[in-house]
Structure 1
Amino acid sequence: MKENIFDILKNLNFTEYEAKAYLTLLEEAPLTGYAVAKNSGVPRSKIYEVLDSLAMRGDILVSPGNTPQYTPVPAKELIKNRRIKAEKNFELAEKSLAEFESSANDRENIWNIMGRNEILDKVKACISKATKRILLEVWKEEFEELESELRQAANRGVNVTVIAYGEIVSDFANVYLHYMGDEITEEYGGRWIVISGDDSEVVAGIVSLGEDSRAAWTMHVGLVMPITEVMIHDLYLMEIMEKHRELLEESFGKNLVHLRRKFSIYPDFKKHYVK
């Protein structure tokens, strides 16, 4: 029977000497270190090292004095303490390993997402994870479906900045109305969505094709950085247009149409990403 108890205590991270000392104290306490060594069979040269280890772990208590005496924490309390500590360790391990696994698996990959609803679900997941900043380029139709999650993010202190195509009004986000939303919709033949969460992950794709909508999600820095910076440069341009629109349109035409035509490769000046 006692051998089984030794094995059980070893499974609770007791060494052989610690198990012998603890069981001896359970049978009779308080005891001096000398008495614990004598009754347990732990060598006298090791007993105080063993008792100090048990005391530091909270498995026994010490009554200081010229001749310290030792008493065990009751078995039920010991098991309770071990269970609480184990559960905390499991919770910490679960969280840490999940975060490590996620970052290790995802940071070098680019994932394809098909279907408008599936894309918006991934965007919502990105919003829910953000802790510092969300940059979102979006049309009104999709904004309305994301508004609840964006508001929750803002309420927990996340800076939400929206580049809006169409009349988007918000009391929780910094909204920049794109100066040529209608023209872009016409030129590109559809709506897209781009989100950057904490400058660490992006979702970007076309959302106006129903089940044929497609997007990419990635934490790959080679894409996260340039996509995030393009959105920031869009914000620069909108600030500049707000203050110097008349001067810029004098040089580049209404809504900078001459620039758009200059850098188009199609005779109709439209974009042909969506075939």
Structure 2
Amino acid sequence: MKESVSVLKGIGLTMYEAEAYVTMTSLISSTATEIAEKSGIPRSKIYNVLKGLSKKNFIEIEDGRPQTYHVKSPVEVLSREKDRISTEIDDTITRLTNVYENGMSQVQAPIWRIYGVEKIISQEVEIINRARTSINMRIGFLFEGEGEALVKAFKNRPSLKVNILASPTCYINGYEVNIINMFKDEEINIQKADIPFVKVLISDSKEMMHTYTKFSEDKRNVLPETAIGIWNKYEDVARNYDERFMNQLKKMKKKGKKKS
């Protein structure tokens, strides 16, 4: 019961309203007196509580002496509330993202250092989610869980044009990982390339992120505690890197056609 009450409070019911609704799901139809007794809600408050539940469309009130209160199906009520909250969250994301991006554009020196693998991966995914037309990447290595997170982000944005230049393989926790196969998808243009131990993500020629890390002595495994991301929103810099990326990609495609 406590878990259900907590969830109902989270979607906007008061403590008493949540307790009354949970109690009514077992009573189905009952009087205010019965609901107060079963739920432990004071009788002096039960009528206002039930009136509140009725206004929020969680129950129906049948006139009579005494009045009868009928609970609405949890599937009906909670599905409705889930849709409402989802819509409100989507609208809030849109509004706050516009505010955030406008604020970012006002920052005079838009370069940030990001420390830690989880934060770096999270920032990469955020950049992908924010991109409007294209993502270009150079991948010389991957952190644990990073490849899966990037693939998932790309799948959630099927309209993006994604180009990747990547080393054939890298090592994660001592195991060899095929980077090309990991990103192989109809919607992703991935080309094998000689990429040094660095990673670059460029979005819409407007923002980019370099990621660096130290490696073990045998140059196989990354040392995640040394990871650092440099997030850059200087458009001139991002555009310059993007142009160089596309020139390299075009040259590689020409070479591939000549060989075939």
Greater gyration radius: 1
TM-score, structure 2 normalization: 0.49
TM-score, structure 1 normalization: 0.46
Report the structure, 1 or 2, having the larger helix content: 1
